[in-house]
């Protein structure tokens, strides 16, 4: 399943992500992964979650990001939750490419039984109608 947490900068998306990550760790029988660009969440997310900085792996663009997430799931079969901060900083601002990326992630989520949550710094009205069903406004 894929969920988008949508809101403009400063609306509390990252705080919600931290809360969701810590809750997922408590509820999960597998691994919870938090992905960010930079290392600003180091002290906020519980040490029981795997924290990954995409800058260490030179992940840029949605194709590279999809490959990275696919490899993450392939290399560790018991990943239950993947939470991503700063999605547009990692993949780019192109909304059409983002929509295609989310469509591919839906397939990956179904195959791997993984919950994906992405933080999106945008107004909900800026997103295509296809993404409205999975978007949650902060």
The CATH number that applies at residue 80 is: 3.40.50.300
| Number of structural domains in the chain | 1
pLDDT digits 0-9 by tens, 33-83: 999 998 888 778 888 999 999 999 999 999 999 999 999 999 988 999 999
Specify whether the CB–CB gap between 120 and 127 falls below 8 A: yes
| Closest C-alpha to 96, from 62, 59, 123, 137 | 62
pLDDT of 116 higher than 60: yes
pLDDT at 12: 86
For residue 85, the enclosing domain spans 2-137
For residue 68 the two structure tokens come to 């990275």
pLDDT band at 31 (very low <50, low <70, confident <90, very high): very high
Tally of CB atoms within 10 A around 96: 8
Q: What is the pLDDT of residue 133?
A: 67
> Average model confidence (pLDDT) for the chain?
89
**pTM for the structure as a whole:** 0.90
Question: Please, what is the end-to-end C-alpha distance for the chain in angstroms?
Answer: 19
């Amino acid at each position: 399943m894929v969920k988008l947490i949508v809101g403009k900068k400063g609306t509390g998306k990252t705080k919600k992500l931290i809360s969701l990550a810590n809750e997922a760790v408590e509820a999960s029988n597998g691994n919870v992964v938090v992905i960010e660009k930079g290392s600003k969440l180091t002290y906020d997310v519980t040490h029981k979650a795997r924290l990954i900085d995409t800058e260490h792996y030179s992940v840029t663009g949605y194709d590279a990001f999809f490959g990275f997430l696919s490899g993450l799931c392939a290399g560790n079969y018991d990943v239950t939750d993947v939470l991503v901060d700063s999605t547009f900083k990692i993949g780019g601002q192109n909304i059409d490419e983002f929509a295609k990326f989310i469509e591919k992630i839906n397939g990956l989520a179904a195959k791997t039984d993984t919950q994906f949550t992405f933080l999106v710094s945008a107004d909900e009205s800026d997103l295509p109608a296809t993404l409205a069903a999975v978007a949650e406004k902060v």
